[in-house]
Amino acid sequence: MRVLSGIQPSGKLHLGNYFGMMKPALELQKDGEAFLFIANYHALTTVDDAGALRAATHDVALDFLACGLDTDRTVFFRQSDVPAVTELTWLLSTVTPMGLLERCHSYKDKLAKGIAPSHALFAYPVLMAADILAYQSNVVPVGRDQKQHVEVTRDIAIKFNMKAGRDVFTIPEPCIRDSVAVVPGIDGQKMSKSYNNHIELFGGEKDIRARIMRVVTDSTPLEDPKDPEKCSVFALYRLVASENQVREMRGKYLAGGYGYGSAKKELFEAVWSYFEPFRKRREELSRDPGHVESVLERGAQRAREEAGRTLKSARSALGLE
């Protein structure tokens, strides 16, 4: 089984990225051959600064390696190091109906957030399909809100295979993980850099503490019982604390006499402790940038081999070879 995941280097990674995508992707390493790419082509739809994109791409690589990426089990690479993907995107475009793209909610969502409309933003799902199909991926882990991306990829692959008269592409399946957390931001919405409600994965101690202390809570008085299931502080705490710690905090909420300020202090301590080994590993890796580059190049070579075979088959099916 081949599993594929990707993440955009559109800024510093945060707790939502880790628990929503990174941790599940790292756990899937043991289930089969994993392909994991840094989606810097996709990032071009929102990142205008070349230097910022290079730095963010390097940071994402550092973050994944620090958090336990096993390069013996995972093919880890930059999207832009596999040029076959962009040619494949064009070939897939020839069988992609406009109506299919017009129904994609991601384009509408991004326009609503103020992102300037462009062909790249509109055709984003076709590039995503190429990312998935280039490596003959069997499974793509996604949250429920991203399931449509895989459904569009399936539609495009089926149309292409029908036109070719043979199975050029493996039809991928979405892996919906109900256990994957939807991580609340400091304002209670889903954590996102777009909302500036995030808590950085490897931010400084002072900044992380300050942002945690800004997590929005209700106005329940200190002495009254509180509902942990309706509190973002508790939702974040249960991601980073042990079962016993979660049980203890739940009891404090329900008993009353426990303020949100105290809960936030406990949350900070738990977050800081959880990521401490990752921070140490990241500091070690950052002192050897050549190692990070060698890991990405080794992964890119393997990815180019796989994508090259797929592209050759697609070109032949369309009469280009």
Contacts of 158 (CB under 8 A, 6+ apart): 171
The kind and range of the H/E element at 26 are: helix 23-27
Distance CA 132, CA 71 (A): 19
Catalytic residue check, 193: yes
Contacts of 45 (CB under 8 A, 6+ apart): 110, 115, 118, 120, 121, 124
Tokens encoding 77: 């690479």
110, 226, 252, 264: the active-site residue: 110
12, 159, 190, 265: the active-site residue: 190
The 8-class DSSP code of residue 68 comes to T
Catalytic residue check, 110: yes
Within the chain, strands assigned E span 2-7, 33-38, 74-78, 139-142, 173-176
Catalytic residue check, 159: no
Distance CA 59, CA 187 (A): 26
Distance CA 239, CA 232 (A): 11
Distance CA 278, CA 197 (A): 22
Helix (H, G, I), strand (E, B) or coil at 67: coil
108, 193, 264, 312: the active-site residue: 193
Distance CA 40, CA 291 (A): 20
Query: Which residues are catalytic, by number?
Result: 110, 190, 193
